[in-house]
Structure 1
């Protein structure tokens, strides 16, 4: 029973492995490498039979009828099977890791294997070409000169096949590389580089074909070839054509491997510049370009986190204060500023809390503060703080305002018009009243507190004066009052909309203060409840 259970468990573990082997890019990866090798072999046979000068050409028919070809054909079949098996063996840890990367105990090994597998398989096929080339030269070459020519031809075909297969596998396995680079550090002991990729492309597409041309030319000049000069020239032209075609294919693949990630990064950069931080790029490989893509993703993630911090920070202290703190840093202290202060407070909210459920009170306060924030923001003010059921707004700090008093007065008038429509607890209760007070003057604006906990605020007589005026405004029919000094500092258009209504001595001040109200109040304040 234990043996059957073990076999069943093994079969169960093999099934997902086989299923993973025939999904994703693996079949196309192995097929592409085999096609590249077959194309290289076709080039070798075609050149040696049709393009080698005269009697020196390889006679395929004679080779097929001789006993020499059987070992070579057996080697070709064996290498095709073995190379495919080796490719599957190299990819096995990656396939298992892709099935369930969280449970894979050798995830780091699988990740490194995924990034190195194109080079590893290219070396495997290079070894196959070397061994096969030696066997082929030994079976076909009749002279030393022809052996050299055959060996060079095999080198051209093999090098081109391995390079094209390598570049093709890099392109096909990009999704695998992206998954591998996304789960850990991209560092490798011997990472591939763009420079080595270009050097390999140059060796394959230029150096090897030129070496073939030099070998054929040297053989013709030294009399190693029996053909006449026209036949030799035909062979050289064929090699030149192979050079052009091979260099085009290799250069095209190499250029695509470099240009594709750059184009992707450019597109992602444009999206980031437009404010879209949800733009991770797919990582292609472990070269400098892949590391650049990984670094870009980390940078965008950091920018998104910074933007989130800015947004959350701005919700607590105001966007202007948050922007200034992030750009200039935070330090204790303040600066002298001329500002206008707007104070708004509800009337009777404490009494209302004894009559209404807490959820309704919270909803009422949230709606009240929503309107206050909207109006203050529209007039370029700073909602400095919430004080229970009151709010303090500042105009002229931290950013200077050309008409701070005019903006504060305009905001007060708009609040006086909008608040009556939102401060109604329900049909069975009286509406909630409010008071709005505006004052202006010099203050100290800055950060106060401790080094590890501070807040931005304004300190000065206008703050106290605005609070005192607010208490009087609660009994004012329009619900809004402002100091005459604040009105005098506003631009004429806004000042003309306010009228001096009384002169009172505010609590804590030894002299009378003239107070102004909006010229045409649009509602009757509810008064205290």
Structure 2
């Protein structure tokens, strides 16, 4: 309910709201000045005409001070009014946000000297002359004037913070979340340390006046003494009881931002701060569960596809795209599977795929599916690449080098077929279960080409369709046309040169191995 009038004014006034409200709010200075003069009447004897004269002088000085302050503060409001008026580019939005957040503190910090020099000091001199006071009376009057100016500053700060809230709520829809950390404002600790003692000082002066005290200097000193001893001690204790849980919450929030979802805040109170800490712990528990699901999601679904789904969603409509397909299969696997134990079969396949999958990922491809002892990898979907054929061929030759020549895949040897063509890429499934996959003859051809490695004698075979899409020269040799099982037309195949192939591929393989080494967490071979 406190903010409702300000929200209503903001909606009604639009871009005029900041300047109109600041202008009206500063008029509170007249009330502070008038109240201070009335309070002086309790401590100093004087005729009604004397106090009327002092009131007129003080209010006139206050009017000049307010006018001067508005002239200085209006330029700071221009970015805010421009943004509300429709200038909402990124730079204008950030400037408006910074000015709106820092306005209350800036008004107090930059304009505090204006009432002190322009109102308090001249009014004290006027009071000394009007009431014919000794010059030593300057000091208690100065103390009272500083208290009045401090009260006015705190009043302006708190009121402007409330008034700027609807503007900041509107701005928050457009500013980046990290921008708030770059704005300087009065901390909660200093607000408590400034406001509560000031309340006690003002209360002390008012009580002294009502109780019949006739010495302003003694009343000011007594009020300040209480505010800086007993009251300040209680204020510091209150500040610590409020600030410590908030600091704990801030540290835990920073930990969550850095990815630590085990962060938690101790609930040490039963008040609103304790409820906030408990809510934070519940939120982190939910984030931790989501992260666990995300990790499982990335484990049982290819990382590239998982990121695509999380960032762009999962469309159930298929899309016709050109991709390159890599099909990899273990040679003579059936004989091994018949004699080995089930655990050994799984362990050996995991060792093999632990070599193959990082190579595919290093080239931007993703494993579409594991098919027993083989796998199907796609380059060019869901993330498109203009050089998808080059990526697939580089991955094929690197897998061949690591598994068939270096032996990192254990005792297994693999055959690899690479083909390029158009496929339908999209979500396939039903009954609440979907899987991103590619469908088309290009997939079948890649599988049949891999079968041909057993009869042709090459571990890696590439179709003419894939070769035509290559940007790099891999020095491929033609293996002629081959009739492949299940295909109506013969397919022209290519492979590495039978001699010197390692040297021809060194410039290509070196780059792949560097990326692959980073994926697997060790340094590349020298």
Matched, 1:474 2:458: no
Tell whether the 8 Å contact from 1:205 to 1:243 is kept in structure 2 after alignment.
yes
Once the 2 structures are TM-superposed, how far is the Cα of residue 470 of structure 1 from its aligned partner? 0.3
Tell whether the 8 Å contact from 1:436 to 1:474 is kept in structure 2 after alignment.
no
263 and 475 in structure 1: CA distance in 2 versus 1, 3 angstrom threshold? farther
Measure, in 2, the Cα distance between the counterparts of 1:255 and 1:503: 84
2:320 corresponds in structure 1 to 336
Once the 2 structures are TM-superposed, how far is the Cα of residue 207 of structure 1 from its aligned partner? 5.4
Report the secondary structure of 1:397's partner residue: coil
1:304 corresponds in structure 2 to 288
1:267 corresponds in structure 2 to 251
Among 442, 451, 457, the residue aligned to 2:422: 442
Unaligned runs of at least 5 residues, structure 2: 1-188, 504-526
203 and 361 in structure 1: CA distance in 2 versus 1, 3 angstrom threshold? closer
Matched, 1:498 2:471: no
Among 495, 507, 515, the residue aligned to 1:517: 495
Among 369, 375, 392, the residue aligned to 1:408: 392
Give a deviation string over 1:19-39, Cα, whole Å, max 9, x none.
xxxxxxxxxxxxxxxxxxxxx
Measure, in 1, the Cα distance between the counterparts of 2:416 and 2:192: 77
Q: How does 1:54-453 map to 2 (within 5 A)?
A: 205=197, 210-220=202-212, 234=218, 237-420=221-404, 421-422=406-407, 431-453=411-433
1:161 corresponds in structure 2 to none
Measure, in 2, the Cα distance between the counterparts of 1:482 and 1:249: 82
Report the secondary structure of 2:329's partner residue: strand
Give a deviation string over 1:368-425, Cα, whole Å, max 9, x none.
1111111111111111111111111000111112311101000100111111244787
Measure, in 1, the Cα distance between the counterparts of 2:350 and 2:409: 13
Measure, in 1, the Cα distance between the counterparts of 2:324 and 2:202: 83
Once the 2 structures are TM-superposed, how far is the Cα of residue 503 of structure 1 from its aligned partner? 1.6
Measure, in 1, the Cα distance between the counterparts of 2:229 and 2:386: 71
328 and 219 in structure 1: CA distance in 2 versus 1, 3 angstrom threshold? closer
2:61 corresponds in structure 1 to none
456 and 217 in structure 1: CA distance in 2 versus 1, 3 angstrom threshold? closer
Measure, in 1, the Cα distance between the counterparts of 2:414 and 2:204: 95
Unaligned runs of at least 5 residues, structure 1: 1-196, 222-228, 426-430, 524-529
Measure, in 1, the Cα distance between the counterparts of 2:200 and 2:354: 75
Once the 2 structures are TM-superposed, how far is the Cα of residue 433 of structure 1 from its aligned partner? 3.3
Tell whether the 8 Å contact from 1:342 to 1:393 is kept in structure 2 after alignment.
yes
TM-score, normalised relative to structure 1: 0.53
Tell whether the 8 Å contact from 1:332 to 1:449 is kept in structure 2 after alignment.
no
220 and 340 in structure 1: CA distance in 2 versus 1, 3 angstrom threshold? same
218 and 241 in structure 1: CA distance in 2 versus 1, 3 angstrom threshold? same
Once the 2 structures are TM-superposed, how far is the Cα of residue 233 of structure 1 from its aligned partner? 5.4
Report the secondary structure of 1:383's partner residue: strand
User: Between Structure 1 and Structure 2, whose CA radius of gyration is higher?
Assistant: 1
Give a deviation string over 1:250-296, Cα, whole Å, max 9, x none.
33333333433333333333322222222212334344333333232
Give a deviation string over 1:423-478, Cα, whole Å, max 9, x none.
787xxxxx543210000111001111104122111001110000010001134444
Matched, 1:508 2:492: no
291 and 406 in structure 1: CA distance in 2 versus 1, 3 angstrom threshold? same
Report the secondary structure of 1:470's partner residue: helix
Measure, in 1, the Cα distance between the counterparts of 2:490 and 2:196: 95
Structure 1 vs Structure 2 CA RMSD? 3.2
Measure, in 2, the Cα distance between the counterparts of 1:461 and 1:298: 50
Tell whether the 8 Å contact from 1:198 to 1:254 is kept in structure 2 after alignment.
no
Report the secondary structure of 1:509's partner residue: coil
Report the secondary structure of 1:277's partner residue: coil
Report the secondary structure of 2:229's partner residue: helix
Measure, in 2, the Cα distance between the counterparts of 1:261 and 1:451: 48
491 and 287 in structure 1: CA distance in 2 versus 1, 3 angstrom threshold? farther
Measure, in 2, the Cα distance between the counterparts of 1:250 and 1:289: 19
Aligned length: 312
Tell whether the 8 Å contact from 1:332 to 1:446 is kept in structure 2 after alignment.
yes
